[in-house]
Structure 1
């Protein structure tokens, strides 16, 4: 069964001080396109592959369209709540990995059986593996 990879767009783009706050939608589009390129390449740069990639956007980033390889989910309210809904609604036994550094969200999705990785796991896409018990950001 293909894993579910859920990416917290606001958290990932907000983890790099590159001016994303001037164009939140553009930053989400760039992240989506990077994830799509990784998925099209067979997933070697994704933290889990094969995977169905879901990018959750909120606020000013709403309106970003899905593309082949990445389904974009626009949260009506809280992006965190939409991520929890996606994790809770997955098929029983389906592996789920959530990419975020948000501590509260990490706890919520872990309680539902999801694995959690930090933003670097999709920002770098360099294939490095986390140490046992930690993600690529060194968060356990």
Structure 2
């Protein structure tokens, strides 16, 4: 069982759906979709827990049941890298979701990584919406 660790800003920004007009709203919609992932498979890993790093204007969004938020006081990348390090140190398997190459390079050795598009495809299939 794996902790899905999500870079919310990176996933929200992966689709040009006017998210920039309402970052908190776009993040809240993503969190609502992520709440259904525990027990499901993402990139071959069964999700036990969903942890999402939120930052900036979206930092104060409410957390739905089934999602744990890490509210970055500064850099979301710093918070995600620190969270991944803590989870790995606790012996947890982590699947990080980000397209940020610089962030990927900062993750602990052995951390599995997938991109936002892959996660959004899974969420779309769950919603019965293959095209997004």
Q: How does 1:97-136 map to 2 (within 5 A)?
A: 97-109=95-107, 111-125=108-122, 126=125
Give the match's secondary structure for 1:37: coil
**How large is the Cα RMSD of the aligned pairs?**
1.7
Which residue in the other structure is 2:23 paired with?
24
- The normalised TM-score by structure 1 is 0.79
**Number of matched pairs:** 122
Q: Encode CA deviations 1:21-63: one digit per residue, 9 max, x unaligned.
A: 0000001001100011233xx324x443232101111000011
Which residue in the other structure is 2:64 paired with?
67
Distance in structure 2 (CA, Å) of the matches to 1:107 and 1:119 = 16
Q: Encode CA deviations 1:68-124: one digit per residue, 9 max, x unaligned.
A: 211111100000000011111114432111000001001111x44311100012211
- The normalised TM-score by structure 2 is 0.84
Higher mean C-alpha deviation, range 77-86 or range 48-57: 48-57
Contact between 2:99 and 2:116, CA under 8 Å: does it hold in 1? Answer: yes
Structure 1's consecutive aligned runs of 4 or more residues displaced over 6 angstroms after TM superposition are none
Which residue in the other structure is 1:12 paired with?
11
Contact between 2:37 and 2:47, CA under 8 Å: does it hold in 1? Answer: no
Candidates 62, 76, 80, aligned match of 2:77: 80
Contact between 1:87 and 1:112, CA under 8 Å: does it hold in 2? Answer: no
Q: Which runs of 5+ in 1 are unaligned?
A: 128-140
Higher helix share: 2
Q: Which runs of 5+ in 2 are unaligned?
A: 127-132
Distance in structure 2 (CA, Å) of the matches to 1:112 and 1:75 = 22
